[in-house]
Chain A
């Protein structure tokens, strides 16, 4: 996964938002692990990608964060979805479905569509 690819950066944001929707408040390490697991370990997340993306989402107001304690009683920064983030995610999902259905008409064999 290329750091600089805008496509991946964009999709990473969606993955983060979806993860937070499903899991509730979560720290950076948790988000990274969850995304890796969900992807069936096809994706490997490193700091260089994750933390700038989280900061950007925070600046845009889609996630909020506060300091808390992990299950092992470690001090960690917890991220959670805001209302704007929820809306954004819904919008992204709608657009994604639309994109997929359009692309499917081009990419899938015709007989399967019927």
Chain B
């Protein structure tokens, strides 16, 4: 039976084609039938006329039969579909303006959704671009404070004792000064144990990966570079493999280049083998990251259990360093994405979903309005025998065709939006594996969203039209009614739309206000015309502390003599970035404020020009001078917070402070130095995207406490970037080997500091603007249509004495009351959005009334403007024309 069914379908499918011949044959067959009948009738004695008549009556409608045979021949369902599809295209061609608005509206919604979803998909769902990626795990040291990097001693013990892993590899960070074609360049590098690339299974673009023996001390002078570094600084030279390059003054052989893509998105652009010298192995310094590949068939739980056992053994064997330290094995996927980023991604997806919903509501509204003008068409089709299901299907197909067009344009728009997002995406916000693009799964979701959208906005007019009272419509003749029940549905949709729009606008408003709060913060510094850079001086450079000060004095002199430089400074920390060091201190002659804990403060060494360079305001006393040298009395300056916290009753300038100062070149320990407080300065902002709270800070003169690694900052008369080259030349005249690292103006640094906030603000802001636009189109469409339909009513009102002003107010009142109703519903949504966004906001509460009032007013004003044009048209109706027209 199955076979017969299939055979029958195949024949019927074939029946969709070559219909002309079949029609001709059918006509012949029916003609023969008729003739035979007539022949028989003649034989039974009828006249020719009677015979014909009888045969025709008996056999019924020839055309009806043909129609039925045709249905049986092909699939009436498919034929209908094709017919409806053609009809839809015809309808679209006939109203290009409507089609354009609907398609663009939908394309905006679909495009934004596709773009944000592609970010979410690439970040959270797409499997990592490694073979058997599910076997890759991160192994962390665990203390009571959470996960931590791993010490070299622990890593080597783990690798020796564990049985769960095919590979267990470690890597750490380093910085190298690389001699490139034009000038020395500072590059971040990763030092990785030699099997790292074999573990991940990442192939090389050029050359080869590390050999196992290159992980031994003495054989490790080889380097792999990323595609990005290779093309930016080595001219994408194919012959680079085997070449020697100079890094930190020593010679390394280039053995490989990684493929473009993932590695290029990481900070470290060089990869070198990590070789542990026996004297470097310690259980103390936890600075390495450890990744492993599980053996086939070993589960995460088994690996975790084994690592717990090993961690317990180590805790017993090395109680000094490893007591209370455990270990954990975690999947690599999503291991480096902070909870907050994941939450933010979902929030963005939610916001963009709202946008799509608004777009759908909008199109539903437009379609509903247009369907009203097609009541007569529908009624006539119904009268000619179209069933309700057929009418429903026709309207649905029209929406799906519209949706398909919008979806196609939306995918295109999505690509544009993705490019925009990637341009403002803060570096390192997403894991480097995340390759944001329109992939097949993204396309599938877009297709799904499009279909869903088409069904969603198609159902309303389809449902409405399929249950039209046939008789009423036809009886009405040409008379258009006053809206009818469809008008109610349309108004409800406008209310929904405004509620959704307010929710999105509130999100945008909150993000904007938070960003405004951040940018209008008093940073305590003047960021204009200040350029900073650091000097990555190798650890081994200054064996004797005495050589540090002369080196920097000479540098500073040369830098200050560069034309355009007004003032310059050497400092160990930078405003916005933080002090860099944190040291314990106490106040002479006073017990520690908190006897149990140790009080500490941010600690920074600066030369006298620091305050003038950054425009930091002095509150009390004096700044450092050229007399505060190693020979002079020890002095210090403190910030406002420290002064307020510790010297509320006394004058700080009369006090002395004891600071534990670090020893240059030594990893630990320090010397206690007692300093006279000579000045109090205004707080400066730093850290955590400007959200950091004001904490105590101590400055001491750089010349009294020299430090090998420092930054230099200059204030220039004009745009400081113009003199970068001269500054580099000045530095190189003193020290030809050291590059300028991290060259930034303070304005750039400020902009980088705010990049996360800017990203969110731009996205939420654009969604809000789009939502506003769509809501405006929506309410305009409904009001304009309503006015057009009620021309006659307005004519009567005016004929009865209503003035133009009254009509204007009548229409405006209707439109605005819809908007207000929507706003009231939207307030609830806005509050929820505020709650969800709370952790991203600065200085804004979830229920931020000023922001809500502003967006409410903006929405209302938009509604007013959108309603004004139809209202004016209504008020200018000429009663005579309106009444005569019908």
Contact = CB atoms under 8 A, between A and B. Distances in A.
Highest count of chain A CB atoms <10 Å: which of B37, B69, B73 = B69
A77 B36 contact: no
A4 B249 CA distance: 94
Highest count of chain A CB atoms <10 Å: which of B25, B32, B71 = B32
A29 B29 CA distance: 9
Contacts of B26: 51
A59 B12 contact: yes
Given A59-B7, A60-B8, A72-B39, A44 B58 contact: yes
A29 B72 contact: no
B11 A59 contact: yes
A22 B377 CA distance: 52
Given A47-B59, A59-B8, A28 B29 contact: yes
Given A51-B69, A60-B7, A46 B39 contact: no
B14 to A, nearest CB: 10
B87 interface: no
Chain A interface extent, by class:
20 to 34
B72 A27 contact: no
Contacts of A27: 32-33, 36
Contact of A47 (B11, B25, B28, B65): B65
A72 B36 CA distance: 8
Interface string B30-42: 1011011101100
A112 to B, nearest CB: 37
Given A61-B4, A77-B29, A48 B68 contact: yes
B60 A74 contact: no
A56 interface: yes
B297 interface: no
Nearest to A33: B40
Contact of B61 (A32, A48, A52, A72): A48
A75 interface: yes
A104 interface: no
Nearest to A58: B11
Interface residues of B, number: 29
B422 interface: no
Nearest to A84: B4
Given A28-B33, A74-B35, A77-B29, A55 B65 contact: no
Contacts of B33: 27-29, 32, 47, 76
Interface string B494-523: 000000000000000000000000000000
Given A60-B8, A61-B7, A51 B65 contact: yes
Given A52-B69, A52-B71, A60-B8, A47 B36 contact: no
A76 B4 contact: no
A27 B29 CA distance: 9
Contacts of B65: 46-48, 51-52
B64 interface: yes
B62 interface: yes
B423 to A, nearest CB: 60
Main SS at interface, chain B: helix
Contact of B36 (A51, A55, A74): A74
A101 interface: no
A76 B32 contact: yes
A32 to B, nearest CB: 8
Contact of B30 (A51, A56, A70, A84): A51
Interface string B63-106: 01100110111000000000000000000000000000000000
Contacts of A47: 30, 33, 59-62, 64-65
Contacts of A77: 25, 28-29, 32
Contacts of B4: 60-61, 84
Nearest to B3: A61
Nearest to A46: B60
A113 to B, nearest CB: 34
Highest count of chain A CB atoms <10 Å: which of B4, B30, B33, B73 = B33
Contacts of A28: 29, 32-33
B8 A51 contact: no
Contacts of A48: 60-61, 64-65, 68
Nearest to B25: A77
Interface in B258-312: none
Main SS at interface, chain A: helix
A34 to B, nearest CB: 13
A4 B71 CA distance: 13
Contacts of A52: 65, 68-69, 71-72
Nearest to B30: A47
A74 B32 contact: yes
Contacts of B72: 52, 55-56, 59
A55 B73 contact: yes
A77 B36 CA distance: 12
B717 to A, nearest CB: 92
Nearest to B12: A59
A59 B71 CA distance: 13
Nearest to B61: A48
Contacts of A56: 8, 72
Interface in A78-102: 84
B46 to A, nearest CB: 16
Contacts of A72: 36, 39
A75 B32 contact: yes
A76 B71 contact: no
Contacts of A30: 36
Contacts of B32: 27-29, 70, 74-77
B456 to A, nearest CB: 34
Contacts of B25: 77
Contact of B29 (A51, A61, A84): A51
Interface in B1-54: 4, 7-8, 11-12, 25-26, 28-30, 32-33, 35-37, 39-40
B821 to A, nearest CB: 49
Interface string A19-49: 0000000011110110000000000101110
Highest count of chain B CB atoms <10 Å: which of A27, A55, A61, A76 = A55
Contacts of B61: 47-48
Contact of A46 (B40, B58, B69): B58
Highest count of chain B CB atoms <10 Å: which of A29, A33, A61, A77 = A29
Contacts of A84: 4
A72 B61 CA distance: 25
Contacts of B8: 56, 59-60
Highest count of chain B CB atoms <10 Å: which of A47, A51, A52 = A47
A84 B36 CA distance: 29
A51 to B, nearest CB: 5
Nearest to B40: A33
Nearest to B68: A52
A72 B28 CA distance: 16
Contacts of A46: 58-60, 65
B58 A76 contact: no
A109 B35 CA distance: 49
Nearest to B11: A59
Interface string B157-187: 0000000000000000000000000000000
B36 A29 contact: yes
Nearest to B8: A59
17 contacts: A27-B33, A28-B32, A29-B36, A48-B60, A48-B61, A48-B65, A51-B29, A51-B68, A56-B72, A59-B11, A60-B4, A60-B7, A60-B8, A72-B36, A76-B29, A77-B25, A84-B4
Interface of A: 27-30, 32-33, 44, 46-48, 51-52, 55-56, 59-61, 70, 72, 74-77, 84
Interface of B: 4, 7-8, 11-12, 25-26, 28-30, 32-33, 35-37, 39-40, 58-62, 64-65, 68-69, 71-73
Given A29-B36, A70-B32, A76-B32, 8 more contacts: A30-B36, A47-B60, A51-B29, A51-B69, A59-B7, A59-B72, A76-B33, A77-B25
User: A-B pairs with the 10 shortest C-beta distances?
Assistant: A47-B65, A46-B60, A52-B72, A29-B36, A29-B33, A59-B8, A76-B32, A59-B11, A48-B65, A52-B68
